[in-house]
């Protein structure tokens, strides 16, 4: 894949797209999580500040009357008052401050953390976030104060430092940022690996198409070259005898037949791939198919001095659902392949049996056998174990590929078991169906 520029670039784009999508998802999830945590902490801080401020407001208002000012009331309740020391301690421990403003919003007094550089703000705004001269932030609440008789006397402002909140928020953002960065790197590496996994089947298909095209062109070139050479030879000789004409015409006929068979097989495989083969499924008797084919190919076996026999190990008829012509071709290809690679004096046996809920046809031969490393590839199109040997035996290498495709279209399975120099066994399994008008 790395040697193909198109696939290499596509893999980069695919991996980049994966990484970009994952990075974007992680980024926006991080932003959402940060906002959710910050909002929850902010609401908790507001509730806490409002609760403490309410306590102080109630204590101050209980000491106010129309004759006392805010400063006098504050002196009674703040540090000089022993009964309120627990409240004052809470202020100092919690980074709080309290300021009292008169009705004109001028500062009367302040207690709590040192806030000399903190600006005095309007008491009419309930919630405020303010900064001091050093840039430290504070959260502040303002509550109107009333003396007895509901007389407005000023404002109570209570604030809390946001230093701890900002530190926690910055730490959380750092952790989120680091986590997102690490996750993005891992997602990028994973995307590179996943893009390779995703493209491997496509690349294999692409390679198979390239190989198929090259093999098809090679197979077509040979008979075409033979036809061209034959015609050219005929044209160079002004007068040919009847016998010479017969030889030339016979050669042209053979090569034409070879081309016709090859093109027909290629078209069939193409239609099977596109699922355009019109199959008429009906109960088919395998007993008849096996017997007819053994009888039909007996002449070929006799010519090559091969013993061809049928072994039907059943006392009843075996039916499968399928297209009879396609099944006929499937079994015919298997038997013809066995005859082709079995030397003179050898034996080919076709065995029909039933195993579990499947009909099983085994074609056993005593031929040349198939090397172990080649067995996984023999059903590939145009595959040849040995080019010279295949040329000697003939064929384009499509028979087993067609047989495999037909078996799969019928819900069956085709396997091979072979030992080099001892022969091969092809096993075809097909689902059983009921015999017409009968029960198994």
78 and 202 co-located in one domain: yes
Domain presence at residue 229 = no
42 and 182 co-located in one domain: yes
At residue 2 the predicted structure's pLDDT band, cuts being 50, 70 and 90, is low
Domain presence at residue 438 = no
- Structure confidence at residue 440 (pLDDT): 40
| pLDDT greater than 80 at residue 112 | no
- Count the Cβ atoms, other than its own, within 10 Å of residue 228: 12
- Structure confidence at residue 437 (pLDDT): 59
What gap in Å lies between CA 231 and CA 241, rounded to an integer? Answer: 15
Q: Which of 205-214, 234-243, 384-393, 396-405 has the lowest mean pLDDT?
A: 384-393
95 and 195 co-located in one domain: yes
Domain presence at residue 174 = yes
Measured in residues, the chain has a length of 440
More confident residue, 37 or 202: 37
What is the C-alpha radius of gyration for the chain, rounded to an integer number of angstroms? 46
Taking residues 348-375, what's their average pLDDT?
A: 88
| pLDDT tens profile 139-179 | 999 999 887 767 788 888 888 888 888 888 889 889 988 98
> DSSP strand E in 42-192: where?
96-101, 107-112, 127-131, 137-147, 151-161
Listed residue (252, 210, 249, 201) closest to 227, CA to CA: 252
- Structure confidence at residue 80 (pLDDT): 46
Beta-bridge partners for 140: 128, 159
Tell me the CATH number at 300: 3.30.565.10
HSE on the CB side for 72, CA within 13 Å? 9
For the entire predicted model, the pTM comes to 0.52
203 and 294 co-located in one domain: no
Q: Which range marks the domain in which residue 90 is found?
A: 1-111+143-207
- Structure confidence at residue 89 (pLDDT): 55
Determine the straight-line distance between the first and last CA of the chain, rounded to whole angstroms. 53
Last residue of a domain, one of 160, 178, 207: 207
Q: Percent helix, strand, coil in the chain (nearest 5)?
A: 55, 20, 25
Domain presence at residue 158 = yes
190 and 296 co-located in one domain: no
* Structural domains counted in the chain: 2
């Amino acid at each position: 894949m790395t040697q193909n520029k198109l696939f290499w670039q596509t893999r980069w784009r695919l991996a980049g797209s994966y990484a970009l999508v994952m990075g974007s998802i992680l980024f926006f999830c991080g932003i959402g999580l940060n906002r959710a945590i910050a909002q929850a902490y902010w609401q908790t801080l507001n509730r806490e500040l409002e609760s403490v401020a309410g306590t102080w407001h109630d204590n101050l208002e209980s000491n106010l009357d129309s004759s006392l000012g805010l400063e006098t009331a504050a002196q009674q309740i703040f540090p000089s008052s022993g009964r309120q020391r627990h409240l004052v301690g809470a202020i100092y421990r919690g980074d709080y401050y309290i300021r009292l403003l008169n009705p004109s919003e001028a500062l009367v007094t302040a207690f709590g953390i040192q806030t000399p550089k903190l600006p005095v703000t309007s008491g009419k705004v309930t919630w405020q976030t303010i900064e001091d001269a050093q840039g430290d932030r504070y959260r502040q609440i303002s509550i109107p104060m009333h003396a007895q008789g509901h007389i407005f006397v000023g404002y109570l402002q209570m604030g809390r430092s946001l230093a701890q909140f900002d530190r926690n928020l910055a730490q959380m953002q750092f952790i989120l940022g680091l986590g997102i960065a690490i996750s993005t790197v891992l997602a990028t590496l994973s995307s590179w690996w996943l893009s390779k996994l995703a493209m491997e089947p496509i690349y294999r298909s692409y390679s198979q198409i390239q190989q198929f095209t090259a093999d098809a062109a090679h197979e077509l070139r040979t008979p075409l070259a033979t036809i061209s050479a034959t015609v050219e030879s005929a044209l160079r000789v002004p007068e040919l005898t009847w016998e010479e004409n017969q030889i030339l015409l016979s050669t042209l006929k053979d090569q034409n037949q070879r081309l016709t068979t090859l093109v027909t097989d290629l078209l069939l495989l193409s239609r099977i791939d596109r699922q355009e083969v019109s199959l008429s499924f009906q109960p088919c008797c395998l007993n008849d198919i096996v017997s007819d084919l053994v009888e039909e190919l007996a002449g070929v076996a006799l010519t090559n001095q091969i013993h061809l026999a049928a072994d039907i190990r059943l006392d009843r008829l075996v039916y499968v659902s399928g297209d009879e012509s396609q099944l006929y071709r499937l079994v015919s290809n298997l038997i013809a392949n066995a005859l082709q690679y079995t030397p003179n004096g050898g034996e080919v046996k076709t065995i029909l049996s039933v195993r579990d809920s499947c009909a099983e046809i085994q074609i056993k031969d005593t031929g040349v056998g198939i090397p172990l490393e080649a067995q996984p590839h023999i059903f590939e199109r145009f595959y040849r174990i040995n080019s010279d040997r295949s040329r000697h035996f003939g064929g384009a290498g499509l028979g087993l590929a067609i047989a495999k495709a037909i078996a799969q279209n019928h819900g069956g399975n085709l396997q091979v078991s072979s030992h080099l120099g001892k022969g091969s066994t092809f096993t075809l399994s097909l689902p059983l169906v009921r015999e017409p008008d009968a029960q198994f």
